[in-house]
Amino acid sequence: MIHIVFNQVEVELMQSVIALDESLAGDAILIRDDFAVGPLTGLDTEEGWNARLEWWKEISQGSPYGNDLVGSFDDRQTVQEIKKRLDENTEEQVWIWMGQNQHDVTGYYWLMPQLREYQGRIMVLYMNNLPFINEKGQIFYPSWLHEIQPREFLKAKKLARPVTLSEFEVDPDEWKRLADENAVVRMLEGGKKIAGKGEDFYDGEIIKNLTGEWQKANRVLTNTLNRMKIKTGDIFLMWRMRNLISQGRIEVTGDTGKGWKDFDIKLSGASKAEATAATAATA
């Protein structure tokens, strides 16, 4: 059994789940890229794939992960290894685990055209509007798999079902639509419906966490990540923060060309009214 997840923390989570239920024994394999942001055109070609790598390289400048992050993995090779295992063992199955978020769902759509020849052996578990019990014994509806306690997965495994022939016909078309649209940001609007948004989609979240007082940029980043309801990655948010600086909507002191800890930011005068309005809208 091969378990596919879309977040690093969920590899360890699945290992904990497997330790609780030997019927789930297998490998937890990670698809690393975040297909909810960035260019998607022509990813089945070297040119398209390299264009996406260059985009990640550009927005990752100054990140604490260093320049070695981009290009350090190739999800295409991961899929080829999965397909090799399926070819070598006709009893092997793939279980795709998805939380109710755009990151996991776009990863699923990317996989579908590549796995359709294995219809009947590809299972999906989509935690869509499903109640679970948290650590305090309260019912909640998780958006991400890592919000679910390992023991709760023992019930969730009953939801595993084969990806249908119809889905293998329709979902690759949905991936093609997303690639053709090539929006910079993608949102989950319910079910498996993904809608494209502009690159400035998250700018208001950054503005809400700024004031007229100087703050460390990495502190604003952390506060934004913790408070925002619709999540995205820290690299993308910092890229947008730099864009807001270049637009004059955020004032800066320090060197933005260095690390995230090396500059301070605050609202420009023109953005203070915007921040007040954004806060009032979510109150």
Domains of the chain, with CATH numbers?
2-181 (3.40.1360.10), 203-282 (1.10.10.10)
Q: Residues 220-240: what's their mean pLDDT?
A: 95
pLDDT the model gives residue 233: 94
244-275 pLDDT tens trace:
999 999 999 998 888 888 899 999 986 666 66
Instruction: For residue 155, name the pLDDT band (cuts at 50, 70, 90).
Output: confident
Q: What is the mean pLDDT of residues 145-156?
A: 91
Q: Residue 280 pLDDT more than 70?
A: no
Q: Please report the pLDDT score of residue 279 as a whole number.
A: 59
User: What is the model's pLDDT at position 64?
Assistant: 85
Tens-digit pLDDT profile for residues 47-97: 999 999 999 999 998 888 866 677 778 999 999 999 999 999 999 999 999
3-class secondary structure for the chain?
CEEEECCHHHHHHHHHHHHHCHHHCCEEEECCCCCCECCCCCCCCHHHHHHHHHHHHHHCCCCCCCCCCCCCCCHHHHHHHHHHHHHHCCCCCEEEEECCCHHHHHHHHHHHHHHHHHCCCEEEEECCCCCEECCCCCEECCCCHHHCCHHHHHHHHHHCEECCHHHHHHHHHHHHHHHHHCCCEEEECCCCCEEEECCCCCHHHHHHCCCCCCEEHHHHHHHHHHHCCCCCCHHHHHHHHHHHHHCCCEEEEECCCCCCCCEEEEECHHHHHHHHHHHHHHC
Question: pLDDT (tens digit, 9 = 90+) per residue, 178-221?
Answer: 999 999 999 999 899 999 999 999 999 999 999 999 999 999 99
Rounded percentage of the chain residues whose pLDDT exceeds 90: 81
Q: What integer is the mean pLDDT of 8-34?
A: 95
Q: Is the pTM of this model over 0.85?
A: yes
pLDDT value, residue 87? 97
Over residues 125-134, the pLDDT tens digits come to 999 989 999 8
